[in-house]
Copies of this chain bind each other. A is one copy, B any other.
Amino acid sequence: MPQGDHLPRLTQAAALFTFAMDAVDETGLVRPLLIPAERPLTVYIDRQEIVTLMTLGQNPEWLVLGYIRNQNLIADLSQIESVTVDWEVGAAAVATRTGQFKAPAKDAPRVVTTGCGQGSMFGHLYDQVSQLQLPDGQATQAQLFSVIDQVREHPSVYKQAGSMHGCALFDLMGDDAGAVQDTPLLRLFIEDVGRHNALDTLSGWDWLQSPDQRVRRPLVYTTGRLTSEMMMKAAQMAIPIVMSRSGTTQMGWDLANRLGLCVIGRAKHRRYLCFAGGHRIVGATQPG
């Protein structure tokens, strides 16, 4: 059976990203403005209501898949038959191949996190994730600087409308021979109202890739803060290096150290701070 037969069928229900309105500035001048859309999308799996995500709606099918993956609701993509997004009713209907999905116990503890969105998850996930083994993976400083440049130059809804988080998935692998190149390949750039949605959407896209299309040496860049939950999602996606223009928190730092995850924050132009996992940066001056 060819690979494609295992992939879920997806709608392509991208919605309008921005909404035009008139603001009034401090001098009384009317200022036409674009603001980001924010719309509820209720996820059902085999007709059971799972969660309502508040999203920009750029790639809702990938978002739903990534949410399912990162929350560990379904272990294997081949179990999913289809994802059908209908903005008219604000619903994403996920059908499994068996039609027998069992939601996690209703009295399972919920965690509401510090993150921008998708904060809710089941408490045992943290413990599970901190046991994960990340793949090998290193980046050169030249590659890190290139990531910063590429993200800065990428067209974005943020530049139009603000109030948005962006997330990008890079491949550090230069060519099939494995030669290191200074310019990592930007595979996907996603924006959403919350940094969690953006990362989950990358995860959903990544899940759908066939082995030959897969990102071989992944690095994720996010504009958002690197809290514990962002580290958890990176680990679920087997990403060994995460970068951000923002900072981290104590719990995020602690989890990164347990996982051996390389965490680079405050990344701007030719500067950054490595918070954890510095062994994954090659060619950097070592202290001392």
Residues of chain A touching chain B, judged by Cβ–Cβ distance below 8 Å, are 19, 21, 23-31, 33, 35-40, 42, 49, 51-55, 106-107, 109-120, 123, 141, 161-163, 192-194, 197, 225, 227-229, 246-253, 265, 270-275, 278, 284-287
Contacts and interface: CB of A to CB of B under 8 A. Distances in A.
A116 B118 contact: no
A120 B117 contact: no
Q: Which of A37, A53, A55, A115 has its CB near the most chain B CB atoms (within 10 A)?
A: A115
Given A273-B25, A278-B24, A109 B42 contact: yes
A284 to B, nearest CB: 6
Q: Which of A36, A53, A253 has its CB near the most chain B CB atoms (within 10 A)?
A: A36
Tell me if A's interface is mostly helix, strand, loop or mixed: mixed
17 contacts: A24-B273, A25-B273, A28-B285, A35-B249, A35-B253, A51-B112, A53-B112, A106-B106, A110-B120, A112-B119, A113-B117, A116-B117, A118-B119, A161-B247, A163-B225, A163-B247, A193-B249
A250 B112 contact: no
Contacts of A278: 24
Nearest to A33: B273
B250 A35 contact: yes
Contacts of A35: 247-250, 253, 275
Given A114-B193, A120-B120, A252 B38 contact: yes
